[in-house]
Amino acid sequence: MLQEHARIVQFIAMAGEARGRKKLQKMIYIAKKMDFPFAEKYELHMYGPYSEELTLRVEELCEMGFLSESCTDKGSYVQYSYNVTEEGGRFIETAEAPHEKLADCIERLNGKSSRFLELVSTLLYFDYLPKDEQIAKVHIVKNKLNFTDDEMQDAFAFIAELQACSIVA
Amino acid sequence: MDYKNEKLFEEKVFKDPVHRYIHVRDKVIWDVIGTREFQRLRRIRQLGTTYLVFHGAEHSRFQHSLGVYEIVRRIIDDGFSGRAEWNDEERLLTLCAALLHDLGHGPFSHAFEKVFTLDHEKFTQAILTGDTEVNEVLRRVSPDFPQQVADVIGKTHPDKLVVSLISSQIDADRMDYLQRDAYYTGVSYGHFDMERILRVMRPAEEQVVIKFSGMHAVEDYIMSRYQMYWQVYFHPVSRSAEVILIKILHRAKHLHNSGYPFQYAPVHFESFFDRTFSLEEYIMLDEGVLTTYFQWWRKEEDAILADLCDRFLNRRLFQYAEFEPATEYRKLGELERLFKEAGIDPEYYLVPDSSSDLPYDFYRPGEENERMPIYLQMSNGELRELSRSSEIVDAISGKRRTDHKMYFPEDLLESRENPLYEKILRLLRGE
């Protein structure tokens, strides 16, 4: 079974729509850090955790006709959105059901902005460090985004909230 | 003279088939090369299982690491040194990061990481900052120098220009591996005019940029990446060998977890199966260790493990069939059912494989600022993303080709030992 492909389609189906490639990248990274079984490998790029494998997989899913891609001109950039097609819906019926707690996690992530998720995912990338070093790393990696102390606090609070409802909680 | 600036009495050179000579003058670099962790890279092939297709591809990560070092040395010493945007104080740091960027790769890296959910970059960091010979050498420069090298490789160093020399869309890592892999595999694509690229590279605020007049040399480099991907990195037979390798490790792990009494106990793997391994245990592993186990496991009573090891060592690889998931995903379910009915475990003998399983990347322009694209520096100083000026790059960077295959043991199925085998073969071949 193409389980790893199916997990991505299931994720987008549960989210309703994935608006923005960056947001999708960060949502799946955060879900993975909450121990949901996503296989895509992430690396730190100039702007935070990024998975080339996920980019390729989403492209494959679009070519397979399980996802549809649309793009909107936002002026300075183009935003890509993804939806599950009818065939994609039939495809995931043949796959293992996702973990029961995933829907809750996605709902929490969906309500947040791309900028906030970028901050959360980058903090999680450095979660092996003490809190002050995590913050320092985020300021180095994302020096142009100027995250405020309040945003940092909100991000740590959100991570604690997510961890409380993760698979291992 | 302090250790950081200490030079060897005479320059040392390594003969190299790609760059002709690798030049070493810095004592620190010479000492790092002599450490056991760096020497270990001699025992890890650069291209994993590709040698089973292109028999010349036996080159190691040791060679590649020296090559990346040499390219960066030339960029700095022959191009950047003395320019206002470049800080010469970062020279040694950049050279060390170039030399050590692949230090944490394990044996058959991609397969090993997939099975044990590991990340070689984390091991690079751990070796640099842990109780190792490399760390001891780097600490002699300054107590925080190992961490600085780790930060450059981990892309968290504040000097992004230094980071971009080691890791960006047109970095020394890619420029070495494309040429080296082309040389050792013997393919004719993969070559590009690196001399020209080095001459037109310019340091900018946060990254290396390319002088506009060098655009055609960069186009050549982008084409090389594209061709090497499909002709070498995603070669279907090489993928077959990797599929078998992954399945061997999965099988050994499964047997260990279910208490199977190994005739040849997987001593070197037990801590990986149990996720209790130490850094030293990781460093002890190389491709020689893995293939030695495969030799022993050919004699195991477990028929699946013995067969897979024999297949890998003696190149009895799986055959492949084209697979279109969009229209055939239900067929996969049917095949799995038939395999089970015929007494063949589909978990190990029926394996779908997709191009996304091998993340060698193409050049693609910036995606919502996820990755820094290649910028051309125009004569007025303005920066312009490469695909906006190059029709060739624009033509290949926006369009992707994906590929899916189904791997299976055709030799076994053709034995017709079971009446179901023929039915399975017909289904696989789309007859």
pLDDT digits (tens, 9 = 90+) for B181-192: 999 999 998 889
Q: Which residues of chain A have pLDDT under 70?
A: 1, 46-47, 76, 168-169
Structure tokens at B175: 């420029």
Give me the percent of chain B exceeding a pLDDT of 70: 96
Structure tokens at A9: 């389609």
pLDDT above 90: residue B260: yes
| pLDDT tens for each residue of B199-218 | 999 998 888 999 999 999 99
In angstroms, the Cα distances linking B49 to B104, B109, B240 are 18, 10, 9
Which SS3 state, helix, strand or coil, does residue B363 take?
A: coil
User: So what's the pLDDT on residue A167?
Assistant: 72
pLDDT above 80: residue B1: no
Phi-psi region of A127 (alpha: psi -120 to 50; beta: other; left: phi over 0): alpha
**Do residue A20 and residue B368 have CB atoms under 8 angstroms apart?**
yes
Q: What is the average per-residue pLDDT within B10-38? A: 97
Could you tell me if residue A169 is inside a domain? no
User: So what's the pLDDT on residue B369?
Assistant: 56
Q: What is the dihedral of CA B116, B120, B125, B127, to 10 degrees?
A: 80
Comparing alpha-carbon positions, the chain A residue that sits nearest to B353 is A2
Q: Of the given ranges (B145-149, B219-223, B394-398), which has the lowest mean pLDDT? A: B394-398
B337-376: burial string, b at 16+ Cβ within 10 Å, e else: ebbeebebebebbbbbbbbbbbbbebbbbbbbebbbbbbb
In terms of residue numbers, what domain contains A52? 3-164
Of B114, B355, B372, the CB nearest to A60: B355
In angstroms, the Cα distances linking A117 to A21, A25, A146, A156, B427 are 12, 10, 15, 11, 45
pLDDT above 70: residue B400: no
| pLDDT tens for each residue of A151-164 | 999 999 999 999 98
Neighboring chain B residues of A79 at a CB cutoff of 8 Å:
368
Q: Which domains does chain B have, with CATH numbers?
A: 3-233 (1.10.3210.10)
| pLDDT tens for each residue of B129-178 | 999 999 999 999 999 999 999 999 999 999 989 999 998 888 999 999 99
User: So what's the pLDDT on residue B358?
Assistant: 60
Neighboring chain A residues of B204 at a CB cutoff of 8 Å:
none
Question: What confidence tier does B368 reach under pLDDT thresholds 50, 70, 90?
Answer: low
Question: What confidence tier does B365 reach under pLDDT thresholds 50, 70, 90?
Answer: low
Query: To which H or E segment does residue B396 belong?
Result: helix B391-397
What's the complex ipTM? 0.86
CB A134 within 8 A of CB A115: no
* B360 vs B121, higher pLDDT: B121
User: So what's the pLDDT on residue B370?
Assistant: 63
- Please, which residues bridge with residue B20 across strands? B16
Give me the percent of chain B exceeding a pLDDT of 90: 78
Question: What confidence tier does B330 reach under pLDDT thresholds 50, 70, 90?
Answer: confident
Identify the contact set of chain B against chain A, taking CB-CB distances under 8 A.
113-114, 119, 121, 154-158, 160, 324-326, 329-330, 332-333, 336, 352, 354-357, 359, 361, 367-372, 400, 402, 404
Question: What confidence tier does B395 reach under pLDDT thresholds 50, 70, 90?
Answer: confident
User: So what's the pLDDT on residue B208?
Assistant: 92
User: So what's the pLDDT on residue B367?
Assistant: 55
Say how many domains are in chain A: 1
Q: What is the average per-residue pLDDT within B376-402? A: 84
Task: Quote the mean pLDDT of chain A.
Answer: 89
Q: What is the average per-residue pLDDT within B330-358? A: 90
CB B300 within 8 A of CB B265: no
Calculate how close chain A gets to B255, using CA atoms only, in Å: 22
Comparing alpha-carbon positions, the chain B residue that sits nearest to A41 is B119
**Do residue B367 and residue A46 have CB atoms under 8 angstroms apart?**
no
User: So what's the pLDDT on residue B364?
Assistant: 65
Q: Computed over its alpha carbons, how large is the radius of gyration of chain B?
A: 24
**Do residue B368 and residue A22 have CB atoms under 8 angstroms apart?**
yes
Task: Quote the mean pLDDT of chain B.
Answer: 92
User: So what's the pLDDT on residue B94?
Assistant: 98
Q: Which amino acid is at B90?
A: E
Q: Alpha-carbon distance B248 to B138, whole Å?
A: 38
User: So what's the pLDDT on residue B255?
Assistant: 97
- Please, which residues bridge with residue B403 across strands? none
Neighboring chain A residues of B370 at a CB cutoff of 8 Å:
21-22, 25, 45, 47, 50
**Do residue B402 and residue A56 have CB atoms under 8 angstroms apart?**
yes
Residue with tokens 């604690």: A160
pLDDT above 70: residue B366: no
Positive or negative torsion for Cα A139, A144, A149, A154: negative
